[in-house]
Amino acid sequence: MQIDINAFKEARDFIVSNTAIKDLSPHTAVVLGSGLSHFADNLKNSSYAKVIPFKNIPHFSSSTVEGHSGELIVGKLTNSHPIIAMSGRLHFYEGYNAKTITNPIRVLSLLGIKNLILTNAAGAIGDNYEPGQLMAIKDHINLSGINPLIGPNNPELGPRFVDMSHAYEPRFIEYALKAAEQEKITMHQGVYISVTGPSYETPAEIRMFKSMGADAVGMSTVLETIVARHMGIKVLGISCLTNKAAGLSTNTITHEEVMENNAKVAMRFSSVLEKIVAQIYAEK
């Protein structure tokens, strides 16, 4: 079945009619992963702020995961830069297919978004990678076994075959490293490996991932990156390292641990994101 671009246009028109997007003309959006709602809370209190639950938007689906509020927020940051934020996302392990997971990225593109910051919670694999630190994604490994571009291609959305040589914008990575340094929070550059979940990985799997060159592991982001690049959107990916991956510590991995460790860095991470957005908007 071919992708129905009219469904994306209907969602776009609903968002435009219910927000101040026409006045703000944002060109940058942020997708917030598990427990990273502090940035969204700040945006909700900003000028022009409008919050729309995913369930109210035509052809969107609701997130079912704790820490993902499932809201689209349009507003201005404290530095006066307009932005769209998705507080939460959809995952394959929730039972959604690859196209449903990435539909919001299609809609963001039709709303005029040219730059996308994808954040996530991830398990630390790399040497000297510790919980509470960040990682700018310089490349990824798609081990999910799925791809949202499978099926007939709609040329209105993008080309049949997409070059992924530079999936993550190097210039944006530099912005992220600079912002993290200013906020005095450690940020690595590394490779993110995507799996489906929802079970966490085994120690044997983590050893394999490390031998493949992965520095962090998670259950999101890669499918969104593929669709964003399909539509010509520049991408920055940032992982919040919330735990040591299986076999690298004696702790039992839980979603509660992920949420707790994210909460510890939420304010500084929010400041890092605001600084990155400011640098993107400063580009000529």
Annotation says 121 is catalytic: yes
Annotation says 166 is catalytic: no
Annotation says 266 is catalytic: no
Annotation says 243 is catalytic: yes
Which of the residues 34, 42, 115, 144 is marked catalytic? Answer: 34
Which of the residues 48, 93, 96, 281 is marked catalytic? Answer: 93
How far is it, in rounded angstroms, from Cα 146 to Cα 159?
18
How far is it, in rounded angstroms, from Cα 25 to Cα 7?
22
Which of the residues 255, 257, 259, 260 is marked catalytic? Answer: 255
Which of the residues 27, 38, 68, 188 is marked catalytic? Answer: 68
Which of the residues 136, 180, 219, 245 is marked catalytic? Answer: 219
Annotation says 274 is catalytic: no
Which of the residues 11, 121, 176, 216 is marked catalytic? Answer: 121
Beta carbons of 103 and 1 less than 8 angstroms apart: no
Annotation says 219 is catalytic: yes
Which of the residues 38, 91, 188, 230 is marked catalytic? Answer: 91
What amino acid occupies position 284?
K
- The answer to whether the peptide bond before residue 198 is cis (omega within 30 degrees of 0) is yes
Which of the residues 94, 205, 257, 260 is marked catalytic? Answer: 94
Which of the residues 220, 262, 270, 271 is marked catalytic? Answer: 220
Which of the residues 103, 243, 262, 271 is marked catalytic? Answer: 243
Beta carbons of 87 and 37 less than 8 angstroms apart: yes
Q: Kindly tell me the burial class for residue 8, based on how many C-beta atoms sit within 10 Å of its own C-beta (0-12, 13-18, 19 or more).
A: buried
Annotation says 120 is catalytic: no
Annotation says 142 is catalytic: no
Catalytic residues: 34, 68, 91, 93-94, 121, 219-220, 243, 255
